[in-house]
Amino acid sequence: MRKGNELKPRIGLFGRRNVGKSTMVNYLTGQQTAIVSDTAGTTTDPVRKSMEIGGIGPVVLIDTAGIDDEGALGMQRVEKSMGALAEVDLALLLYTEWGEPEERVDRWCREHGTAVLHIRTKADVGTRRAASAAESEASTADAARRVPTDLAFSAHDSTLHPALVELIRRALPESAYRGRSLLGDIVRAGDHVVLVTPIDSSAPEGRMILPQVQVLRDLMDLHAVATFCQPEELTNFEFRKLNFENTEDTQKSKFKIQNSKLVITDSQVFQRVAEAVPREVPLTSFSIVLARQKGLFREYLAGTRTIGQLQDGDRVLLLESCTHNVTCEDIGRVKLPAALRKATGKRLEFDILAGSDSLQNSKFKIQNYKLVIQCGGCVITAQQVRARLLPALEAGVPVSNYGLALAWCGGIFERATEIFDNNGSERE
């Protein structure tokens, strides 16, 4: 199944102005994708372009502004470039000179575990290296360590293309392009899973929402058996009516809901479904399943348990990873804030950060918040989820997830997560 742009691995190009980042994008894609000019600062905002890499599939190249830009506007561009670092799976650090700007990017990658390749550009015209006084006194071996080079590159040498692509293929973490099963460590072939999928005004016309589709596809890949219904049908069936009638035909398996491996529901009807599903049947939500796959699940669990500590006037930041039609039934903007106010009994204030903007580049100051709640993240990668939450994690602000927060509000948080605690709280 081909991924949308949001779910493709991301490769970012970083370096000073006029170091050849846009030229590298055109070299890799074989197209005049990015504007190339001798004028420094031609690229002002991150530019994205898709391409195919053999053995990996589609990836997104991100061309960024120079990390040495100057002036008030230039500093904003540098911040955007550094913000893009947090969302990439692999950084290509291009340089002709090595100095503080390169050290800053390289240090960030090392501290945050981001894969990085060091590419010396314009190799056909030689290289200059900026050396500080301290570096001048360093040994030759130490200097070599400070200026790592994975490839000496010239855009005029077409024979380097295979080596460059192979270098990228080897450096890109496998986790970035090989999808992990959502439920593979819990559900086995032949297991019966019930999916409760309410259809409201926020659902796309004639389609299911993406988390439901992703879970269904995962169950199909696992050769499990899925039963779909809306909350009304779940209640009306009273479970036992999901069974086949008793018959001597042993080929007609009896799908007893009591024997179901798992019930997964949309978070907004958690309480209704919990009342209908027998306690011995594991229950969770689509959002929680996705949150576990995207990582940071331990942080989500810990952060969710702090909801009861919120006080009057505390601010909560809600992170939406997509743009969508907002309705009176919107789960993030309407239902979740109402549920949190009701469950805590506190006068809470809420802000929304929607789309792909990072918290670093937004108007919101993380120190003003007592809790950050991320949506399921169905349209973004695990690396992007981590990037969005990184400022909160570094500032020690608790983080949660829509589904987990709603489960807490409904008093069923422990029940909604216990099946994952029994199978490892976070996927490795």
Element holding 50 (H helix, E strand): strand 47-53
CA 171/CA 141 separation, integer angstroms: 24
pLDDT the model gives residue 106:
93
CA 57/CA 16 separation, integer angstroms: 29
The runs of H, that is alpha helices, within 30-157 are 71-85, 100-112, 133-136, 140-146
Dihedral (CA of 157, 162, 163, 168) sign: positive
Query: In the chain, what is the straight-line distance between the N-terminal and C-terminal CA atoms, in Å?
Result: 23
Q: Say if CB 331 and CB 286 are below 8 A apart.
A: no
| Sequence ranges of the chain with CATH classification 3.40.50.11420 | 192-287
Dihedral (CA of 27, 14, 180, 196) sign: negative
Note the CATH number of domain 192-287: 3.40.50.11420
- Assign residue 372 a region: left if phi > 0, alpha if psi is -120 to 50, beta otherwise? beta
**Residue environment code for 356-384, b if the CB has 16+ CB neighbours within 10 A, otherwise e:** eebbbeeebebeebbbbbbbbbbbbbbbb
| Sequence ranges of the chain with CATH classification 3.40.50.300 | 5-176
Query: Residue 147: pLDDT above 60?
Result: yes
Nearest residue to 18 (alpha-carbon basis) of 95, 118, 116, 124: 95
- Kindly state the tokens that stand for 292: 């576990």
Query: Residue 139: pLDDT above 60?
Result: no
Q: Say if CB 59 and CB 90 are below 8 A apart.
A: no
Region 403-427: mean pLDDT is 81
| Sequence ranges of the chain with CATH classification 3.40.50.11410 | 297-421
pTM of the predicted model, to two decimals?
0.70
Condensed to tens digits (0 to 9), the pLDDT of residues 288-309 reads 998 898 888 999 999 999 999 9
CATH classification of 5-176 is 3.40.50.300, yes or no? Answer: yes
The runs of H, that is alpha helices, within 209-285 are 210-221, 231-237, 270-276
Reported confidence tier of residue 113, pLDDT bands at 50, 70, 90: confident
CA 346/CA 367 separation, integer angstroms: 20
Among all chains, which residue has been given the structure tokens 């601010």?
315
Least confident of 84-88, 131-135, 151-155, 339-343: 131-135
CA 231/CA 410 separation, integer angstroms: 16
The runs of H, that is alpha helices, within 224-326 are 231-237, 270-276, 286-294, 297-304
pLDDT the model gives residue 329:
62
Condensed to tens digits (0 to 9), the pLDDT of residues 306-327 reads 999 999 999 999 998 765 555 5
Q: Give the long-range contacts of residues 99-107, CB within 8 A, separation 24 or more.
A: 99/130, 99/132, 100/132, 101/15, 101/16, 101/67, 101/68, 102/15, 102/16, 102/67, 103/146, 104/67, 105/14, 105/67, 106/148
Q: 297-421 has which fold? A: Rossmann fold (3.40.50)
**Residue environment code for 63-79, b if the CB has 16+ CB neighbours within 10 A, otherwise e:** bbbbbbbeeeebeebbe
Q: What is the DSSP letter of 263?
A: E
Reported confidence tier of residue 414, pLDDT bands at 50, 70, 90: very high
pLDDT the model gives residue 43:
53
Element holding 390 (H helix, E strand): helix 382-395
Query: Residue 357: pLDDT above 80?
Result: no
222 CB-near residues (< 8 Å, 6+ apart): 181, 183, 184, 187, 188, 189, 191
Query: 2 or 108: which carries more pLDDT confidence?
Result: 108
Condensed to tens digits (0 to 9), the pLDDT of residues 255-274 reads 455 568 899 998 888 888 99
